[in-house]
């Protein structure tokens, strides 16, 4: 995204922009903020949301002038506490009386630490409460109620709170919030800015249990919004001018019967909306599913393929085969549905030979875009139970096992980038597949998005082998300046 920002600004002398643009995927409204605000407003609380702290600090400062009772910080994308520290310091400066609560996956990670380490981490956090529950919205509502009435927060479940300089736990109470609460009233003016691309969810948890992922364990049993409610939400978004709807469900096309119903409702209505989602090729029963997707306005799918080697797929408990994936990519591309394929390098059992098979798979299947990332070891995922079997040591991005180590996995990522010739690299940080609908909402066509990836890929390839890329950069600059992008919501000082 920096390529677009920097080159658009470089063209400002020609009158294109007067300040440095800040195109960013987080311009798409933060779904956690929208959902929690919707949930709490239904229960009589006044809520305002800030979705992107990096760009919306002035908005947060303005809201803090009203001395809100509570500031809630979500941690969906946080792997450590540094971003929390920055937001907390900003809040304390502008509204010292506002209480601060933190929730989300990072809290679960902190709660599972050894007691001594956990106490050190908690002591360094200048916050008032943490909610340790995989859902947590009902606990948040209960906390707000106790703060409003002045009663003791010890009556709130799933809460960590300070008392006498000591962190205390209340009791554990598993939440099972109704999926009807997941349906956001996007026409509510308190939801705020929408734009042309919106994320939403129609399910909680995942229908599968891949060995590298602990999400189904954290989220519990799969829960679904009805097909009619999914359609009604998309129709409301279309009426509000949204052009791209991004379903973030881990397995949007599972169960298939529900998926077919959703696609049929969208296809019959012919709404002026494109939709994007995660997609499981291995769950498709017949070709008519792909036809329905095309008719219903599917613009692109995120394919968590992970490996092109069947032995590694079995180790991952993917319930899939490389051949099934190969067929699915072909069927999707036949129908002009963009395919983004994601891969993992270094899962237990991985070898140089299995990486070769994955590279061969990518070149044969030829998804439009791809990405390979080193395996991130989460001991809480099912694979953690097999650590002795595979000789796994370490955690996160610091690991080794019987057949590979993190350094070799990183080398494999580099090798894939340089060896794949039939798909273009799509980076993860601040971009990923979800930048595709965002950029479409800014005015880029799908063909321009593909060309943009190809041009960036060409520059990177040149630079990676130490060759000058001046010609490719000049060509990329001309391409960017020839686009007619709508202005971003945010700008940066030059």
Same domain, 221 and 287: yes
Same domain, 458 and 324: no
Domain with 344 in it: 193-441
Residue 423 counted as domain residue: yes
Same domain, 121 and 222: no
CATH of the domain at 346: 3.20.20.70
Of 241, 133, 263, the closest CA to residue 195 belongs to: 241
Same domain, 417 and 389: yes
Residue 226 counted as domain residue: yes
Please report the pLDDT score of residue 13 as a whole number. 52
DSSP characters for 30-70? PHHHHHHHHHHHTTT------S-TTT-HHHHHHHHTT--SE
Residues 6+ apart with CB under 8 A from 92: 126
DSSP characters for 222-283? -EE--HHHHHHHHHHHHHTT--EEEE--TTTT-SHHHHHHHHHHHHHHT-S-EEEEE--GGG
Same domain, 11 and 131: no
Of 124, 71, 119, 120, the closest CA to residue 93 belongs to: 71
134, 154, 169 - which closes a domain = 169
The number of C-alpha atoms within 13 Å of 203 and in the hemisphere containing its C-beta is 25
Written as six digits, the tokens of 40 are: 């709490």
How many percent of the chain have pLDDT more than 90?
82
Please report the pLDDT score of residue 464 as a whole number. 82
Q: What distance, in Å, lies between the first and last C-alpha atoms of the chain? A: 16
Same domain, 353 and 371: yes
| pLDDT tens-digit map of 11-44 | 655 555 568 899 999 999 999 999 999 999 999 9
Three-state DSSP class for 103?
A: strand
Asked whether 486 and 443 are in contact (CB, 8 A), the reply is yes
- Report how many domains make up the chain: 3
Query: Would you give the DSSP letter of residue 101?
Result: E
Written as six digits, the tokens of 179 are: 């999926």
Residue 187 counted as domain residue: no
Please report the pLDDT score of residue 376 as a whole number. 95
Give every residue of the chain whose pLDDT is below 50, as ranges: none
Asked whether 273 and 237 are in contact (CB, 8 A), the reply is yes
Please report the pLDDT score of residue 175 as a whole number. 95
Please report the pLDDT score of residue 153 as a whole number. 96
Residues 6+ apart with CB under 8 A from 388: none
Same domain, 69 and 6: no
Taking the mean position of all CA atoms in its chain, how far away is CA 452?
22
Same domain, 205 and 265: yes
Residue 427 counted as domain residue: yes
Residue 391 counted as domain residue: yes
User: What span, in angstroms and rounded, lies between the C-alpha atoms of 47 and 232?
Assistant: 24
Show the CA angle centred on residue 208, arms to residues 392 and 309, nearest 5°. 55
Q: How many CB atoms lie within 10 A of CB 95?
A: 19
Same domain, 222 and 259: yes
Please report the pLDDT score of residue 11 as a whole number. 63
Please report the pLDDT score of residue 284 as a whole number. 92
Q: What dihedral do alpha carbons 434, 207, 281, 302 form, nearest 10°? A: 10
137, 169, 201 - which closes a domain = 169
Q: What dihedral do alpha carbons 389, 394, 395, 399 form, nearest 10°? A: -80
User: What span, in angstroms and rounded, lies between the C-alpha atoms of 332 and 205?
Assistant: 25
Residue 175 counted as domain residue: no
Taking the mean position of all CA atoms in its chain, how far away is CA 436?
13
Residues 6+ apart with CB under 8 A from 136: 103, 104, 158, 175
Please report the pLDDT score of residue 113 as a whole number. 85
Residues shown for the chain:
494
Residues 6+ apart with CB under 8 A from 132: 107, 108, 111, 158, 159, 160, 169
User: What span, in angstroms and rounded, lies between the C-alpha atoms of 463 and 27?
Assistant: 30
Residue 178 counted as domain residue: no
User: What span, in angstroms and rounded, lies between the C-alpha atoms of 85 and 227?
Assistant: 41
Written as six digits, the tokens of 317 are: 């408990």
Three-state DSSP class for 153?
A: helix
Same domain, 72 and 213: no
Asked whether 139 and 170 are in contact (CB, 8 A), the reply is no
Same domain, 349 and 211: yes
Residue 74 counted as domain residue: yes
Written as six digits, the tokens of 303 are: 């394919």
CATH of the domain at 90: 3.40.50.2300
Residue where the block lists tokens 């980038």: 417
Same domain, 39 and 16: no
Handedness of CA 123, 126, 129, 132 (dihedral sign): negative
Q: What dihedral do alpha carbons 76, 80, 85, 88 form, nearest 10°? A: 20
Where does 109-196 show beta strands of DSSP type E?
129-131, 159-163, 166-169
User: What span, in angstroms and rounded, lies between the C-alpha atoms of 281 and 279?
Assistant: 6
């Amino acid at each position: 995204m920096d390529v677009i920002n920097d080159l658009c600004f470089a063209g400002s002398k020609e009158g294109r922009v007067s300040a440095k643009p800040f195109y960013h995927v987080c311009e798409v409204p933060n779904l956690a903020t929208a959902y929690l605000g919707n949930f709490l407003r239904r229960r009589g609380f006044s809520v305002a949301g800030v979705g992107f702290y990096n760009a919306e600090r002035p908005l947060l400062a303005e809201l803090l002038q009203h001395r809100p009772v509570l500031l809630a910080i979500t941690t969906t994308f946080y792997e450590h506490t540094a971003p929390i520290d920055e937001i907390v310091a900003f809040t304390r400066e502008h509204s010292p009386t506002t209480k601060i609560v933190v929730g989300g996956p990072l809290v679960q990670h902190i709660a599972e630490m050894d007691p001594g380490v956990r106490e050190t981490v908690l002591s360094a956090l200048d916050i008032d409460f943490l909610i340790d529950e995989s859902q947590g919205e009902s606990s948040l509502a209960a906390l707000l109620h106790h703060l409003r009435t002045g009663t003791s927060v010890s009556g709130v479940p799933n809460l960590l709170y300070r008392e006498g300089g000591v962190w205390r736990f209340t009791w554990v109470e598993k939440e099972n919030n109704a999926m009807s609460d997941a349906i956001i009233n996007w026409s509510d003016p308190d939801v705020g800015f929408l734009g042309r691309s919106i994320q939403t969810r129609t399910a909680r948890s995942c229908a599968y249990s891949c060995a590298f992922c602990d999400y189904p364990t954290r989220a519990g049993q799969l829960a679904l919004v009805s097909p009619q409610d999914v359609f009604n939400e998309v129709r409301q978004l279309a009426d509000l001018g949204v052009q791209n709807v991004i379903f973030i469900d881990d397995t949007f096309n599972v169960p298939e019967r529900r998926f077919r119903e959703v696609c049929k409702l969208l296809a019959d209505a012919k709404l002026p909306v494109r939709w994007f989602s995660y997609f499981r090729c291995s769950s498709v029963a017949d070709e008519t599913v792909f036809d329905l997707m095309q008719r219903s306005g599917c613009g692109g799918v995120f394919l968590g393929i992970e490996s092109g080697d069947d032995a590694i797929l079995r180790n991952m408990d993917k319930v899939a085969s490389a051949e099934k994936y190969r067929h699915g990519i072909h069927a999707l591309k036949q129908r002009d549905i963009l395919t983004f394929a994601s891969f993992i390098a270094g899962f237990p059992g991985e070898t140089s030979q299995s990486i070769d098979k994955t590279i061969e798979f990518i070149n044969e299947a030829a998804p439009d875009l791809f990405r390979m990332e080193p395996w991130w070891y989460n001991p809480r995922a099912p694979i953690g139970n097999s650590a002795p079997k595979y000789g796994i040591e370490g955690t996160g991005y610091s690991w080794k096992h019987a057949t590979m180590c993190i350094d070799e996995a990183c080398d494999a990522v580099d090798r894939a980038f340089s060896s794949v010739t039939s798909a273009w690299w799509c980076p993860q940080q601040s971009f990923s597949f979800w930048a595709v609908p965002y950029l479409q909402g800014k005015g880029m066509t799908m063909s321009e998005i593909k060309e943009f990836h190809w041009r960036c890929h060409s520059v990177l390839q040149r630079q990676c082998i130490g060759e000058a890329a001046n010609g490719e950069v000049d060509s990329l600059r001309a391409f960017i300046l020839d686009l007619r992008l709508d202005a971003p919501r945010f700008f940066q000082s030059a």
